[in-house]
Amino acid sequence: MQANRYSLKKRISFTYISVYVGICVLIILSFVVGCALYVRDKCEEPSDLLATEIAFEMTTSGGQIMREFLYEKCLLYGINEVFVYDDDNEVLFATTYIRDNDRYFAAKDKGMLTGFLPNFAEISEGVYITDHKKTVVDDEAQHDVRIIIHHSISDELAIFKYIVNMSFVLLLTGLVLFIVFGVSKTHKMLMPITEMTEVAKKINGENMDLRFDTTGAKFELSELALTINSMMDRIMESYDKQKRFVSDVSHELRTPISVISGYANMLKRWGKDDEEILMEGIGNIIQETETMSELVSTLLFLARHDNETLKYELQQTDVSAMMADIVKDAILANPGVKIFSEIDDSLCSYLDEARIRQAVRVFIDNGIKYSADGEKRLFVTLKKKHDHFEIMIKDNGIGISEEDLQHIFERFYRADASRTKDTGGYGLGLSIAKVIIIAHGGKIRVRSKPGEGSEFTIILPQRTVPQKKD
CATH code at position 143 = 3.30.450
Instruction: Identify the pLDDT of residue 3.
Output: 46
Residue 106 and residue 31 share a domain: yes
CATH code at position 284 = 1.10.287.130
Instruction: Identify the pLDDT of residue 119.
Output: 66
With respect to residue 2, please indicate whether it lies within any of the assigned structural domains. no
CATH code at position 338 = 3.30.565.10
Which residues in the chain land under pLDDT 70? 1-9, 61-64, 108-124, 139-140, 205-206, 214, 216-220, 248, 251-252, 372-373, 414-426, 467-470
With respect to residue 293, please indicate whether it lies within any of the assigned structural domains. yes
What is the 3-class SS of 117-131, one letter each residue?
CHHHCCHHHCEEEEE
With respect to residue 173, please indicate whether it lies within any of the assigned structural domains. no
Residue 28 and residue 156 share a domain: yes
pTM for the structure as a whole: 0.52
Residue 268 and residue 120 share a domain: no
Residue 142 and residue 74 share a domain: yes
Number of structural domains the chain divides into: 3
pLDDT tens column, 225-281: 788 878 888 888 777 777 777 776 776 677 778 878 887 888 877 777 777 777 887
Rounded to the nearest 5°, which phi and psi values hold at 231? -60, -40
DSSP 3-state assignment of 110? helix
Instruction: Identify the pLDDT of residue 35.
Output: 84
Residue 298 and residue 337 share a domain: no
Domain final residue, candidates 144, 167, 190:
167
Domain final residue, candidates 271, 306, 341:
306
DSSP 3-state assignment of 83? strand
Cβ contact 431:245 at 8 Å: no
The DSSP annotation for 227-274 comes to HHHHHHHHHHHHHHHHHHHHHHHHHHHHHHHHHHHHHHHHIIIIITT-
Query: Which ranges of 316-352 would DSSP assign to H, the alpha helix?
Result: 319-333
Residue 108 and residue 248 share a domain: no
Residue 398 and residue 279 share a domain: no
Residue 20 and residue 145 share a domain: yes
Residue 272 and residue 155 share a domain: no
Residue 145 and residue 34 share a domain: yes
Strand pairing report for 141-152 and 91-94? unpaired
Instruction: Identify the pLDDT of residue 317.
Output: 93
Residue 236 and residue 138 share a domain: no
With respect to residue 18, please indicate whether it lies within any of the assigned structural domains. yes
Please calculate the CA angle 291-296-301 and round it to the nearest 5 degrees.
130
Domain final residue, candidates 240, 275, 306:
306
With respect to residue 266, please indicate whether it lies within any of the assigned structural domains. yes
With respect to residue 58, please indicate whether it lies within any of the assigned structural domains. yes
Instruction: Identify the pLDDT of residue 420.
Output: 46
Domain span holding position 263: 219-306
With respect to residue 200, please indicate whether it lies within any of the assigned structural domains. no
Task: Find residue 275's DSSP bridge partners.
Answer: none
Mean pLDDT over each residue of the chain, to the nearest integer: 80
Give the torsion sign (CA, 56, 59, 62, 63).
positive
User: Where is 434: in which H helix or E strand?
Assistant: helix 429-439
Residue 336 and residue 384 share a domain: yes
With respect to residue 188, please indicate whether it lies within any of the assigned structural domains. no
